[in-house]
Structure 1
Amino acid sequence: MAVDNDVYNTHSWWHDDQPFATLEAFTPARFDYFHDVLTNRLRLDLAGLRVLDVGCGGGLLAELYAKAGCKVTGMDPSGPSLEAARAHAAESGLEIEYQQGFAEKLPFPDGTFDVVYCCDTLEHVTSVDQAVAEAVRVLKPGGYYLYDTINRTFRSKLAMIKMAQDWKSVSFAPKDLHDWKSFIKPAELHEVFRRHGLANQDLIGFASKRPQLELLKAMRSRARGEITYGELGRQFQLGVHKDTSVIYAGYARKAAN
């Protein structure tokens, strides 16, 4: 099964009853973790920090970074997604630069950004190795790479493929959004980091705070049309967790010289 990245050209990003509204509900947990990393652990001043969002989609994370004071550039291969991102940023009064391009060939000079983040994207690229190499290239010396992606485990196949996509009684994601074979084990990703001069600094998981039975009931309600995609996402109550078997995240540092 191949990943169907064309779904990003057809689905709305900012509407509560569209599939990507579930992603919007997951976004705060991602941002809270990375914001804590940047401000509390690394003690960075976000005002004017040059940040690149690789695979920005409709701008869900980019807008949160912009609101925090960062100078944000969003990059994505999907023209329709970028149109949605630009329109929503304008409606929100946010200045975000959006450009079309691919993670494997970023359209930016060497050493441009203080921070590059790649969230819910690495499992969609053609080459993880090249995507990481390009991120390192455009990072300034001593810059930081933030990431989250999906682990390749039995649990991730059950949760992200079977339940999220295949089983109609509970599914909520577009068919073929993900391919289990494209998921990445943390050790594999960290080996790619080492090859390209990134030193991993942290590894955490994301998981729901709700009991699994309650989540299944919510997913069935969404499948029956009783609640919106956005409401389903909010009911997941995603948060930082020690379990990295499905979704994991972390950050890495580029050498300073």
Structure 2
Amino acid sequence: MSTVSAAEAAKFGALAEHWWDPEGPMRPLHRMNPLRTGWIARRVEAAGLAWRGLRLLDVGCGAGLAAEAFARRGAAVTGIDAASEAIAAARRHAEQGGLAIDYRIAAPEELAEEGALFDVVVALEVIEHVADRDAFLAALATLTRPGGLVFLSTLNRTARSFLLAKVGAEYLLRLLPVGTHDWRAFVTPAELARALRRAGFAVTDSAGMTMAPLTGTWRESGDLSVNYLVAARRA
């Protein structure tokens, strides 16, 4: 069974040409990206992993915002996405920046079937868009070497996230295109932790990501009620 939702892939593929516009429809991701990639980088380094030669997989990479940030740190990055338009945009932008990133149109289970293995796997703002959450995490586990790290960022399913991330971001502030998110697909930290354990991971850390409404800047916080990050280790 594919973990890809064709409707979700098409929705984000349609935004590919504007992905790298910092004031376009991906503006929240541009502003969030330094926080989430920096948070991940500190935990990679705390685990004693060197960036040079580190094999990192970015699942649901879109046009490459996070993939490029990790490649600039020295990692050997593979980025996969189900949207061909996003991968085409990612390849163009990486080439323009002189970055050697292996971008592929693929679902994680396809790479898992090939026997691919990575030191670090990231899936940022992805799990709330997949067709099968458990199958998706099982594929990530197969792709992560024993003792390797996985990082996810997603949205909590709370009344506050409905007001801020759905109604506020899409309908009132127009920070995201209407229909970007389905609040019913948001994942609570407890649900995600249980699903990660079923897949063979142990959660090691988590943090909230909070946006300042007046400036649009993001900071790490202890508030996981809307956006949050999770780190886990493969058994």
Tell me the TM-score normalised to structure 1 length. 0.84
Measured in 2, the distance between the counterparts of 1:241 and 1:110 equals 37
Deviation of 1:65 after TM superposition, in Å, equals: 0.4
Q: Is the 8 A contact 1:110 1:140 kept in 2?
A: no
Report % sequence identity.
34
Q: Matched residue of 1:115: which SS? A: strand
Match in the other structure for 2:111: 107
Deviation of 1:107 after TM superposition, in Å, equals: 2.2
Measured in 1, the distance between the counterparts of 2:201 and 2:8 equals 30
In the alignment, residue 32 of structure 1 is paired with which amino acid? G
Q: Name stretches of at least 5 consecutive residues in structure 1 with no aligned partner.
A: 219-234
Match in the other structure for 1:6: 10
Match in the other structure for 2:234: 254
Q: Is the 8 A contact 2:56 2:75 kept in 1?
A: yes
Measured in 1, the distance between the counterparts of 2:63 and 2:39 equals 20
Match in the other structure for 1:77: 82
In the alignment, residue 175 of structure 1 is paired with which amino acid? V
Q: Is the 8 A contact 1:111 1:141 kept in 2?
A: no
Match in the other structure for 2:193: 190
- Residue 40 of structure 2 is aligned to residue 34 of structure 1: yes
RMSD: 1.6
Q: Matched residue of 2:110: which SS? A: coil
Measured in 2, the distance between the counterparts of 1:147 and 1:4 equals 18
Measured in 2, the distance between the counterparts of 1:184 and 1:85 equals 27
Deviations 1:5-52 (A, max 9, x none): 42312221112332113311210110110011111x212111100000
Deviation of 1:111 after TM superposition, in Å, equals: 5.5
Deviation of 1:110 after TM superposition, in Å, equals: 3.3
In the alignment, residue 75 of structure 1 is paired with which amino acid? I
Deviation of 1:4 after TM superposition, in Å, equals: 4.6
Q: Matched residue of 1:133: which SS? A: helix
Aligned pair partner of 1:174 in 162, 174, 177: 177
Match in the other structure for 2:23: 17
Indicate the structure (1 or 2) with the bigger Cα radius of gyration. Answer: 1
Q: Name stretches of at least 5 consecutive residues in structure 2 with no aligned partner.
A: 1-6
Q: How many residues align?
A: 227
Q: Is the 8 A contact 1:7 1:174 kept in 2?
A: no
Deviations 1:73-103 (A, max 9, x none): 0000001100110000000000000011224
In the alignment, residue 53 of structure 1 is paired with which amino acid? D
Q: Which has the higher contact order (CA 8 A, sep 6+)?
A: 1
Measured in 1, the distance between the counterparts of 2:169 and 2:188 equals 20
Match in the other structure for 1:224: none
Deviation of 1:53 after TM superposition, in Å, equals: 0.2
Measured in 2, the distance between the counterparts of 1:119 and 1:4 equals 15
Structure-to-structure mapping, 1:1-257, within 5 angstroms: 4-11=8-15, 12-39=18-45, 41-103=46-108, 105-108=109-112, 109-110=114-115, 112-167=117-172, 170-208=173-211, 210=212, 215=213, 218=214, 235-255=215-235
Tell me the TM-score normalised to structure 2 length. 0.92
